[in-house]
A and B are shown apart, each in its own frame.
Chain A
């Protein structure tokens, strides 16, 4: 056993959050596990190590997925923050409405909505892509899915952003976001079946609670997780699609000419720019990785984006290549806690990419703006200066 490699960086430094890939490369080349004393954290940086840790909940517990004690306390009893065997039932309850088989009926509606929105934007000559597409589309889909409208829909963006932000360390961003995340929690604690559209999935969750199929009081928690986890991340991914197609017109052209590349293109967008920077685990025992010991009880941080660019796993990892089809990318996590909403995320993103490929001939982007954010890496604004409709 050797002393752990240390780095004196703050992984939540503003500059690193906006452009983390040079830092990820430097950490990854030093070691698969790097101790960050400033953050009291051990980060995992290489593909195989990350995937093994995600597949080993006995050693890497989800009781500390967040990086401050308040958020971990607040998440107690959710599937997100629990370990098997408790996790297994909670996860089944959460995911039964999100599995590909449950979502099959939504595909036609989602495809139609994406096509209509993208066709309007393509005809407009130029547009701001984040508000008008990356945010507008998933918010509409999730609002329909859960069955709400009005003030709740208006709050979804800030609630969803805050719910991710508070998973970070107790920095200013987290402290400012706690009251907003509290608004979301408050709404989810008081929402009733009558508040939600008949026939929606949200209404169905309450009906399941009434029937006794899921534990009493769990419907509000499930809706909280859909909103907390499903908004900010999908917004990030859809914004990244437009930005990466804008930066790499030859790659967009490949997708336009070969629509069967749509799933591969989305997997590559997720691999190339992970929507989630970092996610936590707690070491349940002294665990040795590459000769370095992570002590029992230590906070661990999983750097999905670092693993996704590991040259030990992907050839030319810093190249954006829509023909790569990296189905094993780490951006949805992996294993028992693998993203429960990945089926819905794919439906939404594939619909957007198909619509872009069908409706847009070329697009020119500028003014890519990113704001530092603790957990989600997304664009704040992105101008499509010129779009030529197909």
Chain B
């Protein structure tokens, strides 16, 4: 699966980073960077958690 970010919707709340620190991080300007966009296995579980906690629904998982 592929992690997709709706960039205009992202407000940098950072809950996704806490849920999946190995996959994404907020840079120094508070912009979200997806470090590992393609995920499976344990990465997929973390990605699902990140998608789930985004308070503004800016993340989703799509078929790779």
Q: Which residues of A contact B (CB under 8 A)?
A: 55, 88, 92, 95, 98-102, 104, 327-328, 332, 334-336, 338-340, 342-343
Contact = CB atoms under 8 A, between A and B. Distances in A.
Contact of A104 (B9, B19, B30): B30
Interface in B8-29: 8-9, 11-15, 18-19, 26, 29
B36 to A, nearest CB: 21
A59 to B, nearest CB: 14
A336 B57 contact: yes
Given A100-B30, A101-B30, A104-B30, A327 B12 contact: no
B15 to A, nearest CB: 6
Given A102-B30, A327-B18, A336-B56, 18 more contacts: A95-B11, A98-B11, A99-B30, A100-B13, A101-B26, A101-B29, A101-B30, A101-B31, A104-B30, A328-B52, A334-B55, A334-B56, A334-B57, A335-B56, A338-B56, A340-B11, A342-B13, A343-B11
A332 B55 CA distance: 8
A338 B8 contact: no
B61 interface: no
A342 B55 contact: yes
Interface string B18-61: 11000000100111000000000000000000001101110000
Contacts of B31: 101
Given A100-B14, A100-B30, A101-B29, A88 B8 contact: yes
Contacts of A340: 11
B53 A328 contact: yes
B30 A336 contact: no
Counting chain B residues whose Cβ lies within 8 A of the other chain, the interface size class is 10 to 19
Contacts of B15: 327
Task: Sort A-B residue pairs by CB-CB distance and give the 10 closest, nearest first.
Answer: A101-B30, A335-B57, A99-B11, A338-B55, A338-B56, A101-B12, A327-B53, A100-B12, A99-B12, A55-B57
Contacts of B29: 101
Contacts of B13: 99-100, 342-343
Contacts of A335: 56-57
Given A328-B52, A335-B56, A343-B13, A92 B30 contact: no
Contacts of A92: 8
Contacts of A95: 11
A24 B31 CA distance: 39
A123 to B, nearest CB: 35
A92 B56 CA distance: 12
Nearest to B15: A327
Nearest to A102: B30
B32 to A, nearest CB: 10
A55 B52 CA distance: 11
Nearest to A56: B57
A327 B57 CA distance: 14
Contacts of A102: 30
Contacts of A336: 9, 56-57
Most buried by A among B13, B31, B53, B55: B55
Nearest to B11: A99
11 contacts: A55-B57, A88-B8, A99-B12, A101-B12, A332-B55, A334-B55, A335-B56, A335-B57, A338-B57, A342-B13, A343-B11
Contacts of B26: 101
Nearest to A335: B57
Contacts of B57: 55, 334-336, 338
A201 to B, nearest CB: 16
